[in-house]
Amino acid sequence: MPVAVLAGLLLASGCAAPDADDGADRASTVHAVRATLDRRAAAVLDHDADAYAAVVDRKATGLRTAQRRELAHLADVPLASWTYRLTDLTEQGRDRVTADVRLRYRIKGYDAAPVSTDRVLDLARDGSDGRWYLVGDRAGEDGGPQLWQQGDVQVVRTGRSLVLGVGRTEQELRRIAREADRAVPAVSDAWPERWAGRVVVLVPHTVADMARLLGAPESDYRDIAAVTTGRTDGSGRAPADRVVVNPQAYGLLSTFGQRIVLTHEITHVATRARTSAATPTWLSEGFADWVAYRGEDRTAAQVAPELADEVRGGDLPSGLPTDEDFGFAGDPARLAKAYEGAWLACELIADHWGEKKLFAFYRAVQGDSGQDGAVRRALQDVLATSPQDFTARWREHLSARLG
């Protein structure tokens, strides 16, 4: 279509061509906001409190104070990197914008990949210098509070673990570090693939703080001694996992119980790159317990007391635990039996087919899509059995070990 005709149609229809200045203004704003974020990131890595506060609007005195406090809380954390990536920018008026950003950071010596969390930042433009300054900072949709936002972070560092705590004693953090240091080689001895061989442990002040870090109700974690965070995308790339300890529940455990808990959770860190949405919970949790109890002198009834009571009472479970059975918010007895049954399923594979087959089965499930099909194919390809036959063998194993 000739240019003259196109222009005539635009005028006749009442439409106007987009103003090139609008695009230029937005590009300029994006560039300026990114510059503000870069200055903020540099201030974190330099531990420069003045520079960190300098990107906050002078009139936002409360936010300035809070930002200085946050940076002070981070002072002892050994950061390798800290970056902000602008993912979206919404104009709220001529001199106001809302920026969706992804904060990515790594801890030196421990993180091969960065931790990612989403933040929403409100910024205002200062007419005197034309720069953009923060007036608001909050968690984004895929983000939540970070440990340093809950208080001053205390750091205990060893060759195999980095324990970061808030509101806990140094003695307590050192005890956790010692148990983590014992657990790491136990996991490496059991898991045949190479992994980082180091772990970061977070110890918040209370179970309520733990729940806030994990973005879930406090009631879900009240009786849970520790959990491991990290995405399971099955890509083969290990993310930056964190073992998060519930100081109240963990503190009630014996030394043996604490060792089992940390070995279990660190197993999740080691196997994360081989865990995907296709991995059933009974396999990932059962394998972690199998590793944790592998070198311990405990009877099956001692490891699985809830299930032992049922089996001895003639109430044998009809099938393997489902993913729903592992819900923290459900019945504690149901949860305990799910973990116990999962452990015995992995023990069955290791005892009947061999430990190498257990590792191969774990890997084979991760490499497929769709949980039911993945398990069925892995049972056939690795163990030369079917879901029905495996379940029957598992029930027989329960009777033999717990009856």
Q: Find the helix or strand (DSSP H, E) in which 90 lies.
A: strand 79-93
* DSSP track, 47-68: T-HHHHHHTB-TT-HHHHHHHH
Name residues of the chain where pLDDT drops below 70: 1-23, 230-239, 368-369
Find, among 22, 140, 23, 18, the residue nearest to 88 by Cα.
140
- Amino acid (one-letter) located at 341: G
Report d(CA 104, CA 84) in Å as an integer. Answer: 6
Compute the distance between CA of residue 35 and CA of residue 25 in angstroms, rounded to an integer. Answer: 15
SS3 121: strand
Q: From 121, 1, 146, 136, select the one nearest 59 (Cα to Cα).
A: 136
Domains of the chain: 17-144 (3.10.450.100), 145-272 (3.30.2010.30), 276-403 (no CATH)
Q: Looking only at Cα atoms, what is the longest distance across the chain? A: 90
pLDDT at 368: 65
Is residue 244 a contact partner of residue 214, using CB atoms and an 8 Å limit? yes
Q: How far apart are CA 95 and CA 97, in angstroms?
A: 7
In angstroms, the CA 394 to CA 380 distance is: 16
Under a CB-based contact definition with an 8 Å cutoff, are residues 270 and 313 in contact? no
* Dihedral, CA of residue 402, residue 300, residue 376 and residue 335, to nearest 10: 90
Contact 33, 97 (CB under 8 A): yes
Residues 6+ apart with CB under 8 A from 383: 349, 353, 357, 361, 390
CA pair distance 319, 391, nearest whole angstrom:
6
Q: What confidence score (pLDDT) does residue 24 get?
A: 76
CA 143 to the chain's CA centroid: 11
Q: Map tokens 């409360």 to a residue.
A: 62
Q: Which helix (H) or strand (E) element contains residue 318? A: none
CA gap 341, 306 in Å, rounded: 10
> What is the pLDDT at residue 369?
67
Nearest-angstrom CA–CA distance, 53 and 65: 8
Tell me which DSSP letter residue 231 carries: -
**In 3D, which of 237, 265, 235 has the Cα closest to residue 250?**
265
Pairing verdict, β 161-165 and 154-157: antiparallel
Paired strand residues for 200: 162
- Specify burial of residue 241 (Cβ count, 10 A radius: 0-12, 13-18, 19+): buried
